[in-house]
Structure 1
Amino acid sequence: MRRVEARHLRYALALAEHQHFGRAAASLGIAQPPLSTQIAALEREVGERLFDRTPRGVFPTAAGAAFLAGARRALDEMAGAVVDAGRAARGETGRLRLGFIGSALLAPLPAVLGRFRRTHPDVRLAVQEMESPAGTAALLAGELDVAVGRATPRGVGAESLVTVPFWTNHLVAVVSTAHPHAGRSTIGVDQLAREDLVITPPDKEPAVSAMLRALFAPERCPLDGATVARDVHTIVGLAACGVGVGLGPDSMRRVARNDVWFCDVTPRVRLPDLLLSFRAADRSPVLAAFLDTVRRTCPDVESRLDRLLAAHPDTAARRAAG
Structure 2
Amino acid sequence: MDVRRLRHFVAVAETLHFGRAAELLHMTQPPLSQSIRALERELGTALFVRTKRSVALTPFAAQWLDPVRAALAAIDALPDTAERIRRGETGRLNLAFVSTADYSLLPDLVQRFRMLYPKVDLALTEATSDIQIAALLRCEVQAGIMIPPANAALPEELVYRRLMSEPLIAAVPEQWLDSGRLELTDGRLSPEAVVASPLVVFPRHVAPSFHDLVTTYYLDSGGPADIAQQAIQMQTIISLVSAGLGIALVPESLRHLARTGTCYVPLQRRPPYLDTGIVWRRDDTSPLLANLLEILPGDDAAR
TM-score range, shorter chain: 0.7 to 0.9
* Alignment pair present for 1:14 and 2:11: yes
For structure 1, the 5+ residue unaligned runs are 313-322
* Alignment pair present for 1:201 and 2:197: no
Aligned to 2:230: 229
For structure 2, the 5+ residue unaligned runs are none
**Structure 2: which amino acid aligns with 1:59?**
V
* Pairwise CA distance, 1:173: 0.9
* Pairwise CA distance, 1:260: 2.9
Aligned residues: 289
What secondary structure is seen at the aligned counterpart in 1 of 2:145? strand
Which residue among 56, 59, 64 is the counterpart of 2:55? 59
What secondary structure is seen at the aligned counterpart in 1 of 2:5? helix
Aligned to 1:316: none
What secondary structure is seen at the aligned counterpart in 2 of 1:221? coil
Aligned to 1:132: 129
Of 153-162 and 190-199, the range deviating more from structure 2:
153-162
Which residue among 67, 85, 89 is the counterpart of 1:73? 67
Which residue among 239, 249, 254 is the counterpart of 1:252? 254
1:194-216: per-residue Cα shift (whole Å, max 9, x none)? Answer: 44433332332211222234334
Note if contact 1:151-1:206 (Cα within 8 Å) is conserved in structure 2. Answer: no
What secondary structure is seen at the aligned counterpart in 2 of 1:123? strand
**Structure 2: which amino acid aligns with 1:249?**
P
- CA 1:49–1:249 in 2, change beyond 3 Å: closer, same or farther? closer
**Structure 2: which amino acid aligns with 1:40?**
Q
* Pairwise CA distance, 1:184: 4.9
1:103-132: per-residue Cα shift (whole Å, max 9, x none)? Answer: 223233344346656765773736243x32
* Alignment pair present for 1:106 and 2:103: yes
**Structure 2: which amino acid aligns with 1:73?**
P
Query: Structure 1-normalised TM-score?
Result: 0.71
Which structure has more relative contact order (CA 8 Å, sep 6+)? It is 2
* Pairwise CA distance, 1:275: 2.1
* Pairwise CA distance, 1:140: 0.9
Which residue among 34, 44, 49 is the counterpart of 1:40? 34
What secondary structure is seen at the aligned counterpart in 1 of 2:284? coil
Note if contact 2:242-2:260 (Cα within 8 Å) is conserved in structure 1. Answer: no
* Pairwise CA distance, 1:257: 3.0
**Structure 1: which amino acid aligns with 2:237?**
I
Distance 1:10 1:138 in 2: 46
- CA 1:84–1:201 in 2, change beyond 3 Å: closer, same or farther? farther
**Structure 2: which amino acid aligns with 1:260?**
T
Aligned to 1:279: 281
Distance 2:78 2:187 in 1: 55
Query: Structure 2-normalised TM-score?
Result: 0.74
CA RMSD of aligned residues (A): 3.8
Aligned to 1:170: 167
What secondary structure is seen at the aligned counterpart in 1 of 2:9? helix
